[in-house]
Amino acid sequence: MANITTRPVTKLGIVGAGSVGTSMAYAAIIRDTARQIAIYDIDAVRAEAEGLDLAHGTQFTGANTVTGGGNIEDLAGADVIAITAGARQQPGQSRLDLAGANVRILEKLMPQLMEQAPDAVYIMVTNPADVLAVAAQKIAGLPRNRMFSSGTVLDTSRLRLLLAREAHVLMTSVHATIIGEHGDSEFPVWSNATIGPVPIREWEISGRQVFTDEFLAAATDDVVNAAYKVIEGKGATNYAIGLAGVRIIEAVLNAENAVLPVAATLNGEYGISGVALSLPSIVGHNGVYKMLEMPLDEAETGKLMASAETLQGTLTSLGI
Amino acid sequence: MANITTRPVTKLGIVGAGSVGTSMAYAAIIRDTARQIAIYDIDAVRAEAEGLDLAHGTQFTGANTVTGGGNIEDLAGADVIAITAGARQQPGQSRLDLAGANVRILEKLMPQLMEQAPDAVYIMVTNPADVLAVAAQKIAGLPRNRMFSSGTVLDTSRLRLLLAREAHVLMTSVHATIIGEHGDSEFPVWSNATIGPVPIREWEISGRQVFTDEFLAAATDDVVNAAYKVIEGKGATNYAIGLAGVRIIEAVLNAENAVLPVAATLNGEYGISGVALSLPSIVGHNGVYKMLEMPLDEAETGKLMASAETLQGTLTSLGI
Amino acid sequence: MANITTRPVTKLGIVGAGSVGTSMAYAAIIRDTARQIAIYDIDAVRAEAEGLDLAHGTQFTGANTVTGGGNIEDLAGADVIAITAGARQQPGQSRLDLAGANVRILEKLMPQLMEQAPDAVYIMVTNPADVLAVAAQKIAGLPRNRMFSSGTVLDTSRLRLLLAREAHVLMTSVHATIIGEHGDSEFPVWSNATIGPVPIREWEISGRQVFTDEFLAAATDDVVNAAYKVIEGKGATNYAIGLAGVRIIEAVLNAENAVLPVAATLNGEYGISGVALSLPSIVGHNGVYKMLEMPLDEAETGKLMASAETLQGTLTSLGI
Amino acid sequence: MANITTRPVTKLGIVGAGSVGTSMAYAAIIRDTARQIAIYDIDAVRAEAEGLDLAHGTQFTGANTVTGGGNIEDLAGADVIAITAGARQQPGQSRLDLAGANVRILEKLMPQLMEQAPDAVYIMVTNPADVLAVAAQKIAGLPRNRMFSSGTVLDTSRLRLLLAREAHVLMTSVHATIIGEHGDSEFPVWSNATIGPVPIREWEISGRQVFTDEFLAAATDDVVNAAYKVIEGKGATNYAIGLAGVRIIEAVLNAENAVLPVAATLNGEYGISGVALSLPSIVGHNGVYKMLEMPLDEAETGKLMASAETLQGTLTSLGI
Ligand SMILES: NC(=O)c1ccc[n+]([C@@H]2O[C@H](COP(=O)([O-])OP(=O)(O)OC[C@H]3O[C@@H](n4cnc5c(N)ncnc54)[C@H](O)[C@@H]3O)[C@@H](O)[C@H]2O)c1
Ligand SMILES: NC(=O)c1ccc[n+]([C@@H]2O[C@H](COP(=O)([O-])OP(=O)(O)OC[C@H]3O[C@@H](n4cnc5c(N)ncnc54)[C@H](O)[C@@H]3O)[C@@H](O)[C@H]2O)c1
Ligand SMILES: NC(=O)c1ccc[n+]([C@@H]2O[C@H](COP(=O)([O-])OP(=O)(O)OC[C@H]3O[C@@H](n4cnc5c(N)ncnc54)[C@H](O)[C@@H]3O)[C@@H](O)[C@H]2O)c1
Ligand SMILES: NC(=O)c1ccc[n+]([C@@H]2O[C@H](COP(=O)([O-])OP(=O)(O)OC[C@H]3O[C@@H](n4cnc5c(N)ncnc54)[C@H](O)[C@@H]3O)[C@@H](O)[C@H]2O)c1
């Protein structure tokens, strides 16, 4: 009969075997996101150990294989590549300096990745993700649909958790989205938010308005500061971003055309161009098909412009 | 209408918000293992941050809730409690000293846990798991079916990975089990191992015997040393044990009566009593219903006795 | 050790082993909706055969058990009971006559069911489901939260399929709901419908409005007539309602508080009382917690009133 | 940006929109077996209605699409094709006559299918499945790995249900297989059967042997007659075969190399050639990679030869 081979039906590459990259791989094996997962890190020893630990768990998952190591060739032919590799912040180093360090990593990394996986869809997770998505896109010469950041998919999930708990409903029955920068200038589109089909400000429990302006302002603050709070307590955030990343990856691998708030480089949406900021977008087989223009009120439009300016400022400072 | 409540249908408690406890919680939310998950750690700050990071990911999972914190009351009414809390090895401290430190933790912890969850099934993951299962059982006055260690479920998964890769078959088509101590004296029952229905030593690829004595000996070594190798590379093992733990927990919460190699205190099986070592066991609603006596050849019986003696020695040294 | 028992963690009862009841059971075993499923039918022979065929498939599912038969005692202690039993339309029998026949079945059935499962949440699937939900509620003396119909969960799914195909997006990225009667007077709430966050009438492909008034009218017609079309081609509809039913059942068994358009007896919502019609509702552990009042435009409000009158008329004709 | 397309990642074709074909499609959408499912039947009206009913349920499943119709072109490019189309037994028609009628269907069908999906893996479900697999293989000129029958996957599942219930363990902890003809001459390999790792005849409950020779004989009878019993009660068997079929399909689509008892044409295994009978086989990307020779006792070997002769006889009678 035929020789025994194990042809990977779908292949996911992850760059970076840190806490984010390995959590994403863990979520991916448990959810059966891809048939084959390869993790690459310059720290080959760590990547191999992580790959081994993950592989030891595959007895309890679907028919997946997962490996880790220091050979970038292991990513060859990947359908999707998630980039989670990054420099660690050095003492005295500013956030901008860190961004610059990560751009320099991408300058070396992207050409190597493009050699291994020229047709892959690339998802930038390393921070500042929106800025690095633009940088990586330019370095690699990728069309904007095939290089985008995980955007505010995670931030939106944090928002929905807060709202769902307060409304006492299932998270997927909450419709509210964080858009703009994945960072301090991001904001929820309250004008459009609903619980089930009920406008958020009209949601009542026992005749009392639940989502007052005070509540909404506090929730916004909470979301914007959630990462800081988690990092303060445990040194990093990894589990939620692992699942958020996998959700985006699945939209691509399954050709879903799901609407998710990722950040690809804008090209005229809301009159903005050249920066990547998060808008609800159609994500499918070829990456981002379209970034949607939803109705915004005046204040929200202002905030979106402010987000765009912040990001443009960073890009300019970094010379991108 | 009725007041809105969220009644947890099933509740999982995890003690220890370290790398093992949180990986287990992550696997549990992704797999929908329990409706409510509560993590408790004496390090309340870390536990809260971990709980928050995990909860942020629940937008992408089923209808789960997960929290972390420093109040043991949060475990109240849990159906299953997995214990992953442990002291860190101190410089100059022997493994036996570490075991003693963990016994002392259990002396304080178990009575508190029994107050919160008197009817729970308890699964010991903290090492030395087999020794601590016996200690905790005595401290708490629990019947042996409701306090057992995760045993060699993980070790068996490591073995099957090696064999499946070599045989080019799916992991669940490999039938082979590690029994004995979860530790250096553990061993695979080769006399009973098969690939599909084929005895392992008869498995051929192109007429060549694949699983030679040399291969089997090397595979045994690999498995026994797998944890050391992973720890050397990444400082801990957490992902695979997270999945292995969740597999056992599901057997209990779903009343599965699955056969899994966990370790409850033996009571005459193979003539052994008073130590907990891993044998294929029926795991269901009330924990371990029965530890199975499978056919062993003479060498294997000898190894099992040696495992029992090793464990008895440790228990005696610790005064348990 | 303890005696081996298999305690059902969650139990689903299905009344009626017809094409709908068995499809629902099939979906339930595949999705692991409940640990134990019991199907009851007055046609014991058919129910046993269906139970056997389903049970033969459980090798490939989670840890479920499923049985079928003619003893109503098999439903004892069920957490949720879905009613799919119904008389077959006789030649010359009007729809109202059929409704009357089904009411008479419920007059015998409900007291027997209440004896077996006094605390269950009951979901009416048999048609006319909205009418029968009210009848069964009265017969059994159940509070309105614990006896409701599957409403327009299925009809809404049909609508979203049409819209998702046209918009080229994932079905769960379409937000649109059918409300009112599960029947000819039902209607979509276009004023509230969105694709992702974009109002449906603003959705464009290449600058062209996709969802014109003509399209929306045709889609409404399609949905209202979908059941007729399917029945014409295959004699019944069963698969989609099987999944819709299971979706509702899961909301109850998992205590989800999901927002789903089911129909419980209204008590003042939109000024309507005494009839059950579908509105987005919070469904959780105790059944329907709340029926939501979403913003409707004038025409939609009119249609809702018309639906209420139609249903009230049927109830009156049937003397309920 | 790029044009919106929905590229199917994996495509499953099903021939026959009868009770078996549609149950298989239903299981496939619920389990997310393939991204795109197309059902073809000469009865276009029925197939369209079934496709519509199934599609209406996809709101509650993963990102699948499913369609039904009378155009064989809809199967173009399928990765796997399951054949469930068959003639209905006519009054006075013998089983052999029915087989002949189905062979004639295949003579027309296979060339058309090969045109649409020349590289697909084909799974024969229509009865007599083992006979038709050989016929279809010859008609289409397919290598034996790419045309095989679902064999005794279903029969094995029936056996494990009986054994698991009696042993009070999870079905996947039962290791026992039916081999030979999918039909009256099939038989379980008791010499190899275990519960967990315990030989079946050594399984005890409270010191009593559970699986006596009488029990095993009765269980064999039960399995061989299971289909008759179900058909007597409900007119067909469909749900279990739907899941069994999907299990095999997943092994192919996920490149699993799972060991499953399917039936490809033997080529010297146990000295048998030219007939397809079920043996535990490695099933993966290219279909059947290898049919395994497991140890059989003398009586079992005899039964296997008898199965082979029965099948050879039928092939000869049919002139294949
Ligand atoms: N976008 C989001 O929503 C989000 C959320 C959380 C974290 N993050 C970001 O993810 C990144 C990773 O975080 P982490 O906690 O995993 O960090 P980490 O330090 O644990 O891991 C980073 C890994 O990258 C590797 N690496 C560095 N340079 C490399 C190179 N040139 N090639 C390959 N690998 C290289 C390192 O060896 C290290 O293993 C950070 O930038 C973090 O800010 C983003
Ligand atoms: N059984 C297995 O197969 C297996 C596999 C891997 C790890 N382990 C064991 O699991 C244990 C945990 O490993 P880890 O990597 O998560 O360690 P870790 O150090 O990351 O976490 C241990 C946690 O326990 C907490 N803790 C200590 N004392 C406590 C107390 N009295 N009450 C509550 N919490 C307390 C600590 O604060 C810490 O957060 C170790 O003993 C390790 O050897 C077992
Ligand atoms: N609500 C919806 O969205 C929806 C969708 C589809 C079908 N339906 C309805 O579901 C019902 C069932 O449809 P079906 O296709 O399964 O019909 P069916 O005729 O195949 O099955 C009905 C079953 O009910 C049984 N039955 C009759 N009286 C009974 C009694 N007193 N106790 C127990 N069982 C009894 C019959 O023996 C039969 O097996 C119909 O009323 C149909 O209109 C509702
Ligand atoms: N292998 C197994 O384990 C197993 C188990 C159950 C059933 N079966 C077999 O599956 C087959 C189907 O059973 P069913 O209950 O679905 O039967 P069914 O009569 O409900 O459906 C058969 C379908 O095949 C269609 N058909 C007939 N000729 C065709 C052609 N030339 N092209 C396309 N479609 C054609 C018919 O229109 C019909 O819709 C039977 O042969 C049955 O014995 C096998």
Q: How far apart are CA A179 and CA C140, in angstroms?
A: 50
Among A5-9, A274-278, D48-52, the range scoring the smallest mean pLDDT is A5-9
Contact between residue B259 and residue B292 where contact means Cβ atoms under 8 Å apart: yes
> Is C1 part of any domain?
no
In tens, the pLDDT along A33-48 reads: 999 999 999 999 999 9
Q: How much is the pLDDT for B94?
A: 78
**Same domain flag for B246 and B137:** no
CATH of the domain at A285: 3.90.110.10
Taking CB atoms and an 8 Å limit, are B145 and C2 in contact across chains?
yes
Q: How many CA atoms lie within 13 A of A68 on its CB side?
A: 29
**Same domain flag for D118 and D181:** no
Contact between residue A116 and residue A77 where contact means Cβ atoms under 8 Å apart: yes
Which chain A residues have a beta carbon less than 8 Å from that of C173?
A: 257-259
**Same domain flag for D110 and D165:** no
The residue from B124, B149, B174 where one domain ends is: B149
Determine the residue of chain D that is closest to C7 in CA distance: D168
Q: Is the pLDDT score of D1 beyond 50? A: no
Which residue is listed with tokens 């990975």? B161
Q: Residue A170 is which amino acid?
A: L
Which tops the pLDDT comparison, A8 or B83?
A: B83
Calculate mean pLDDT across residues D96-112.
95
Contact between residue B280 and residue D197 where contact means Cβ atoms under 8 Å apart: yes
**Count, residues in chain B:** 320
Taking CB atoms and an 8 Å limit, are B259 and D196 in contact across chains?
yes
Instruction: List, in sequence order, the alpha helices (H) in B235-267.
Output: 239-253
Q: Residue B13 is which amino acid?
A: G
DSSP bridge partners of B13? B38, B81
In 3-state terms, what secondary structure has residue D236? coil
Q: Is the pLDDT score of B4 beyond 70? A: no
Token pair listed for C20: 């709908």
Among A74-83, B88-97, C54-63, D115-124, the range scoring the smallest mean pLDDT is B88-97
Q: Is the pLDDT score of A253 beyond 70? A: yes
Token pair listed for B58: 């629940």
By annotation, the residues of A acting in catalysis are 182
Q: Is the pLDDT score of B8 beyond 60? A: no
> Is D3 part of any domain?
no
In tens, the pLDDT along A50-84 reads: 999 999 999 999 999 999 999 999 999 999 999 99
Mean pLDDT (10-residue bins), chain C, 320 residues: 54 97 98 96 98 98 95 96 90 83 97 97 97 98 98 98 97 97 96 97 94 97 94 94 98 96 98 97 96 97 97 95
Q: How much is the pLDDT for D96?
A: 82
In tens, the pLDDT along D73-90 reads: 999 999 999 999 998 777
Q: Residue D22 is which amino acid?
A: T
What counts of helices (H) and strands (E) characterise chain D? 8, 18
Q: Is the pLDDT score of B3 beyond 80? A: no
Domain count, chain A: 2
Q: Is the pLDDT score of B211 beyond 90? A: yes
Residue in C56, C168, C182, C285 annotated catalytic: C182
Nearest CB among C26, C50, C205 relative to D26 is that of C26
In the DSSP assignment, the letter for residue B176 is -
What phi and psi, each to the nearest 5 degrees, are found at residue D10?
-135, 140
Instruction: Write the CA distances from C53 to C50, C83, D188, integer angstroms.
Output: 5, 20, 20
Token pair listed for D304: 């296997």
Chain centroid to CA A33: 16
In percent, the amount of chain B with pLDDT more than 90 equals 92
Residue D216: which of D202, D231, D232, D235 has the closest Cα?
D202
Q: How far apart are CA C119 and CA C222, in angstroms?
A: 39
Q: Could you tell me where the beta strands, DSSP code E, fall in chain D?
A: 11-15, 36-40, 65-69, 80-83, 121-124, 147-149, 174-175, 178-179, 187-188, 194-195, 198-199, 204-205, 208-209, 258-262, 265-267, 273-276, 279-284, 287-291
The residue from A115, A149, A183 where one domain ends is: A149
Q: Which residues line ligand 2 (CB under 6 A)?
A: B 15-21, 41-43, 46, 84-86, 88, 105, 109, 125-127, 129, 150, 154, 182, 236-238, 241
Give A30's contacts (C-beta < 8 A, 6+ positions apart).
A61, B27, B30, B31, B243
Q: How many CA atoms lie within 13 A of D149 on its CB side?
A: 29
Q: Ligand 2 mean position to B311 CA, how many Å?
A: 20
**Same domain flag for B171 and B196:** yes
What's the domain range around A50? 11-149
Contact between residue D178 and residue D188 where contact means Cβ atoms under 8 Å apart: yes
Q: Is the pLDDT score of D298 beyond 90? A: yes
Q: How much is the pLDDT for A89?
A: 73
CATH of the domain at D32: 3.40.50.720
Q: How much is the pLDDT for B204?
A: 94
Q: Is the pLDDT score of D5 beyond 50? A: no
pLDDT band, very low/low/confident/very high, at B6 (cuts 50, 70, 90): very low
Contact between residue D315 and residue D131 where contact means Cβ atoms under 8 Å apart: yes
> Is A3 part of any domain?
no
**Same domain flag for D55 and D168:** no
Give C248's contacts (C-beta < 8 A, 6+ positions apart).
C123, C150, C153, C260, C262, C283
Q: How much is the pLDDT for C7?
A: 43
- Dihedral (CA of B274, B278, B279, B282) sign: positive
Q: How much is the pLDDT for D89?
A: 73
Q: Is the pLDDT score of B38 beyond 80? A: yes
Tell me how far apart the terminal alpha carbons of chain A are, to the nearest angstrom: 55
In tens, the pLDDT along D265-275 reads: 999 999 999 99
Interface probe with A: pick from B56, B195, B205, B208, most Cβ of A within 10 Å: B56
Q: How many CA atoms lie within 13 A of B235 on its CB side?
A: 6
Calculate mean pLDDT across residues A256-264.
97
Determine the residue of chain B that is closest to D206 in CA distance: B290
Calculate mean pLDDT across residues D133-143.
98
CB burial of A89-108 (b: ≥16 within 10 Å; e: otherwise) equals eeeeeeeeebbbebbebbee
> Is D4 part of any domain?
no
Q: How far apart are CA A70 and CA D31, in angstroms?
A: 35
**Same domain flag for B124 and B176:** no
> Is A6 part of any domain?
no
Calculate mean pLDDT across residues B105-113.
98
Q: How much is the pLDDT for A3?
A: 47
Residue C59: which of D226, D188, D162, D57 has the closest Cα?
D162
Torsion of CA A183, A188, A189, A194, to 10 degrees: 150
Q: How far is D308 from chain C (nearest CA, A)?
A: 26
Calculate mean pLDDT across residues B161-180.
97
pLDDT band, very low/low/confident/very high, at D7 (cuts 50, 70, 90): very low
**Same domain flag for A20 and A39:** yes
**Same domain flag for A68 and A159:** no
The residue from C149, C179, C207 where one domain ends is: C149
Instruction: Write the CA distances from D218 to B113, C56, D213, integer angstroms.
Output: 49, 17, 9
**Same domain flag for A51 and A140:** yes
> Is D94 part of any domain?
yes
> Is A84 part of any domain?
yes
Q: How far apart are CA D266 and CA C151, in angstroms?
A: 54
Across chain D, what does the average pLDDT equal?
95
Determine the residue of chain A that is closest to D285 in CA distance: A7
Instruction: Identify the residue whose C-alpha is closest to ligand 2 atom 19.
Output: B18
Q: Is the pLDDT score of B2 beyond 60? A: no
In tens, the pLDDT along D155-175 reads: 999 999 999 999 999 999 999
> Is D1 part of any domain?
no
Contact between residue C246 and residue C31 where contact means Cβ atoms under 8 Å apart: yes
**Ligand 1 atom nearest to CA at A20:** 16
Q: How far apart are CA A218 and CA A216, in angstroms?
A: 5
pLDDT band, very low/low/confident/very high, at D241 (cuts 50, 70, 90): very high
Give A156's contacts (C-beta < 8 A, 6+ positions apart).
A176, A177, A178, A261, B59
| Best mutation site among D15, D20, D156, D248 for ligand 4 pocket (most ligand atoms within 8 Å of CB) | D20
- From the CA of A186, the nearest ligand is 1
**Same domain flag for A120 and A191:** no
Taking CB atoms and an 8 Å limit, are C170 and A257 in contact across chains?
yes
Q: How far apart are CA C76 and CA C118, in angstroms?
A: 9
pLDDT band, very low/low/confident/very high, at A2 (cuts 50, 70, 90): very low
pLDDT band, very low/low/confident/very high, at A96 (cuts 50, 70, 90): confident
Is residue A232 classed exposed, middle or buried when 0-12, 13-18 and 19+ CB atoms within 10 A define those classes?
exposed
**Same domain flag for D191 and D295:** yes
Would you say the pTM of this structure is higher than 0.80? yes
**Same domain flag for B83 and B134:** yes
